[in-house]
């Protein structure tokens, strides 16, 4: 769905989502990194349906993830940082 055109001129690094490494580029939002690399952001809570955000601009609330510290991360408005560790479910919750 998403194709990067400028990754060769930006710093590349790894972030982790549910412990899995995901390639990211400086300046990416979390959502753009995930859609570029794995094609979705999380699974729906009620059934195993992939979610990819909807509005891409902070309005629909479809792209929430969690930092391992427990803080929520809106993937479409928060930029990646090297080594960032995220979870697709609330840390400490039972799935
Ligand atoms: S994609 Fe809509 S709030 Fe993030």
Q: Is the pLDDT at 9 greater than 70, yes or no? A: yes
Taking Cα atoms as reference points, which of 71, 68, 1 lies closest to residue 34?
1
CATH of 12-87, one of 3.90.230.10, 3.10.20.440, 3.40.50.2300, 3.90.1150.10: 3.10.20.440
What is the spatial distance between Cα 35 and Cα 27, in angstroms, rounded to a whole number? 14
Give residue limits of the domains in the chain. Answer: 12-87
Q: What angle do CA 48, 51, 54 make, to 5 degrees?
A: 155
Task: State the distance from the centre of ligand 1 to the C-alpha of 74, rounded, in angstroms.
Answer: 7
pLDDT band at 8 (very low <50, low <70, confident <90, very high): confident
Task: State the distance from the centre of ligand 1 to the C-alpha of 48, rounded, in angstroms.
Answer: 19
Q: Is the pLDDT at 7 greater than 80, yes or no? A: no
**Model pLDDT for residues 39-87, shown as the tens digit of each residue:** 989 888 888 899 898 899 999 999 999 999 999 999 999 999 999 999 9
Q: Which residues pair with 42 in a beta bridge?
A: 51
- CB of 28 closer than 6 angstroms to any ligand 1 atom: no
Q: Is the pLDDT at 25 greater than 90, yes or no? A: yes
The answer to whether 76 and 58 are in contact (CB under 8 A) is yes
What is the spatial distance between Cα 18 and Cα 43, in angstroms, rounded to a whole number? 12
């Amino acid at each position: 769905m998403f194709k990067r055109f400028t990754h060769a001129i930006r710093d590349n690094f790894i972030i982790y989502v549910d412990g899995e490494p995901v390639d990211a580029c400086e300046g990416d939002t979390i959502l753009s990194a995930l859609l570029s690399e794995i094609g979705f952001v999380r699974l729906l809570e009620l059934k195993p349906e992939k979610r990819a955000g909807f509005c891409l601009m902070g309005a629909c609330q479809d792209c929430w993830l969690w930092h391992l510290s427990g803080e929520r991360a809106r993937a479409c408005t928060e930029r990646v940082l090297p080594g960032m560790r995220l979870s697709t479910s609330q840390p400490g919750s039972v799935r």
